[in-house]
């Protein structure tokens, strides 16, 4: 049962595949690049504003001094919060600080600012003992800078901890601005890429559309090769395969036309003869027994002609078939010789059969038809009581079947057209039945070509006189 072809709307489109295959990775790259760019912008903003936090912390450290005596030595600060206003970029960010003494006691600043995360990790970027990290203060995310500052005086010395925190509004605004400034440039780039890809894909698929249009507008009988001059290199294998397919179709169509023409021409004669014989028998022009013999002879010849023409048509099918089975040619030759043994006995021929195993890749019908036609022709052209030999030998690569008759041989001019259909063998017939339809050797030739072999007809001469004909067929041995 034939299945209906799917509508064109659901079939894959080459242009759609190319566009999606190119543009989707581009869009994916832009998306990933946007995320990475935003993170890099935040990191760059952190790097820039972290220096401001460090400067603020160092400014605080300059206002520290040691006070007290003995065990009451402590750190005191004279810094006012208004001194940090110089480090605030604008009113979108706020700065908080806290100074802790030698023992972690509160010195100045915001006492609810989260304590510093100590000990500080190793820092190779700044010479000072400083660490930056993200934290939260009063429900807002902040960037925290922690500086360990040595403080010394007449009364003593120790390590003070200075914390400076800044809200992230300004940093995030700067990162978003950098991202927006970059995104519109990327958007323009993506639009340019899309336009270029659409134009390039449209131009790249133009030969495919032209090829499709050329095939759609062709006449159903036009099997001429497609032009390959302006086709791109990627389409050449498709065009060449199409041309080879159309060439095979043209050969098959020509063979069918020739077969119909030859069949109508060749069958017309025996049918006309048969009609005449039937009319003559009805009128009583000849004796009934003689009329039946003549009609039977004509029907036999017409049947043989029809069978041979059907065999010739089947040979053409063999050329299209692949993966032929493994057949022992020797078995086929023995079977054919046995089938034709009544004819051999009727003519009292000195017959010899010498065959050896010969595995070949072929259809059994083809080998049987090939062997039967060659042996039957040899029997017809071998004089009564003469010698007829059949030999099948093999070498490293080929199997050779040689059928040697004792007939009159063929002339060089006749040999050139013996393999053509209806080129009858004009050698003197030794069976009194005429020369046949001229299809036997044409069938043999077609079978041999379909099997990748060769066939030769060579006169066997002695002292300048033809002693008979050697018909030799060579086929490649099957590789097992």
Q: pTM score, two decimals?
A: 0.48
pLDDT computed for residue 118 by the predictor: 74
**Dist. CA 144–CA 171, nearest whole Å:** 13
Q: Which two tokens stand for residue 169?
A: 């509004």
pLDDT one-digit tens code per residue, 381-424: 899 999 999 999 998 899 999 999 988 888 777 766 676 655 55
pLDDT grade for 477, boundaries at 50, 70 and 90: very high
Question: Which runs of consecutive H residues, i.e. helices, occur in 119-205?
Answer: 169-204
pLDDT one-digit tens code per residue, 238-288: 888 888 888 878 877 776 777 676 666 666 767 777 888 888 888 887 788
Question: Which runs of consecutive H residues, i.e. helices, occur in 284-405?
Answer: 288-320, 329-339, 341-346, 364-380
Largest CA distance in the chain: 163
**Three-state secondary structure call for residue 457:** strand
Range with lowest mean pLDDT among 69-78, 176-185, 209-218:
69-78
pLDDT computed for residue 123 by the predictor: 60
- Write down the mean pLDDT value for the chain: 79
pLDDT computed for residue 432 by the predictor: 35
Could you give all domains of the chain from N- to C-terminal order, each with its CATH number? 28-176 (no CATH), 251-320 (1.10.287), 326-476 (3.30.565.10)
Range with lowest mean pLDDT among 39-43, 253-257, 340-344, 444-448:
253-257
**Dist. CA 22–CA 467, nearest whole Å:** 77
Q: Residue 321: what are its φ and ψ, rounded to 5°? A: -90, 145
Query: Which residues in 401-430 are b (16+ Cβ under 10 Å) and which e?
Result: bbbbbbbbbbeeeebeebbebeebbebeeb
User: Does the bond joining 327 to the residue before it have cis omega, within 30 degrees of 0?
Assistant: no
Which 8-state DSSP code applies to residue 396? S
pLDDT computed for residue 331 by the predictor: 94
**Dist. CA 397–CA 468, nearest whole Å:** 28
**Dist. CA 32–CA 259, nearest whole Å:** 69
Q: What is the mean pLDDT of residues 157-186?
A: 83
Per-residue three-class SS string for 21-85 = HHHHHHHHHHHHHHHHHHHHHHHHHHHHHHHHHHHHHHHHHCCEEEECCHHHCEEEECCCHHHHH
pLDDT one-digit tens code per residue, 299-326: 877 777 677 667 666 666 666 666 778 9
- Say if residue 177's pLDDT is above 60: yes
pLDDT grade for 426, boundaries at 50, 70 and 90: very low
- Say if residue 360's pLDDT is above 80: yes
pLDDT one-digit tens code per residue, 232-244: 777 788 888 888 8
Q: Residue 327: what are its φ and ψ, rounded to 5°? A: -130, 140
């Amino acid at each position: 049962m034939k299945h209906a072809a799917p509508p064109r709307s659901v079939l894959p489109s080459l242009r759609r595949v190319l566009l999606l295959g190119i543009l989707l990775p581009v869009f994916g790259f832009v998306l990933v690049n946007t995320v990475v760019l935003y993170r890099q912008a935040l990191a760059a903003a952190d790097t820039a504003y972290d220096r401001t936090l460090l400067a603020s912390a160092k400014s605080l450290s300059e206002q520290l001094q040691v006070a007290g005596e003995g065990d009451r030595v402590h750190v005191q600060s004279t810094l006012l919060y208004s001194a940090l206003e110089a480090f605030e970029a604008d009113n979108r960010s706020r700065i908080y600080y806290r100074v802790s003494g030698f023992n972690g006691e509160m010195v100045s600043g915001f006492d609810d600012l989260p304590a510093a995360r100590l000990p500080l990790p190793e820092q190779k970027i700044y010479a000072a003992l400083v660490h930056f990290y993200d934290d939260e203060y009063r429900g807002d995310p902040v960037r925290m800078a922690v500086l360990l500052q040595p403080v010394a005086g007449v009364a003593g010395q120790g390590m003070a901890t200075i914390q400076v925190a800044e809200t992230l509004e300004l940093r995030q605004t700067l990162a978003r601005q950098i991202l927006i400034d970059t995104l519109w440039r990327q958007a323009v780039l993506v639009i340019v890429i899309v336009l270029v890809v659409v134009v390039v894909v449209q131009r790249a698929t133009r030969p495919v559309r032209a090829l499709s249009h050329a095939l759609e507008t062709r006449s159903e009988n036009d099997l001429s090769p497609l032009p390959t001059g302006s086709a791109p290199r990627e389409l050449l294998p498709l065009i060449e395969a199409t041309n080879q397919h159309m060439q095979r179709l043209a050969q098959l169509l020509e063979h069918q036309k020739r077969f119909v023409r030859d069949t109508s021409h060749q069958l017309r004669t025996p049918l006309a003869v048969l009609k005449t014989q039937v009319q003559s028998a009805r009128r009583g022009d000849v004796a009934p027994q003689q009329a039946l013999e003549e009609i039977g002879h004509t029907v036999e010849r017409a049947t043989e002609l029809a069978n041979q023409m059907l065999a010739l048509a089947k040979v053409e099918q063999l050329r299209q078939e692949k993966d032929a089975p493994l057949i022992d040619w020797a078995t086929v030759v023995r079977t054919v010789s046995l089938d034709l043994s009544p004819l051999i006995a009727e003519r009292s021929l000195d017959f010899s059969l010498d065959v050896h195993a010969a595995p070949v890749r072929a259809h059994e019908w083809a080998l049987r038809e090939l062997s039967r036609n060659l042996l039957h022709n040899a029997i017809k052209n071998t004089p009564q009581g003469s010698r007829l030999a059949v030999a099948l030998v093999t070498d490293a690569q080929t199997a050779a079947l040689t059928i040697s008759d004792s007939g009159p041989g063929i002339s060089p001019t006749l040999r050139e057209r013996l393999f053509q259909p209806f080129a009858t063998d004009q050698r003197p017939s030794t069976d009194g039945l005429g020369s046949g339809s001229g299809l036997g050797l044409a069938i043999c030739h077609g079978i041999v070509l379909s099997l990748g072999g060769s066939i030769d007809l060579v006169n066997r001469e002695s002292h300048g006189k033809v002693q008979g004909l050697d018909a030799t067929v060579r086929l490649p041995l099957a590789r097992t």
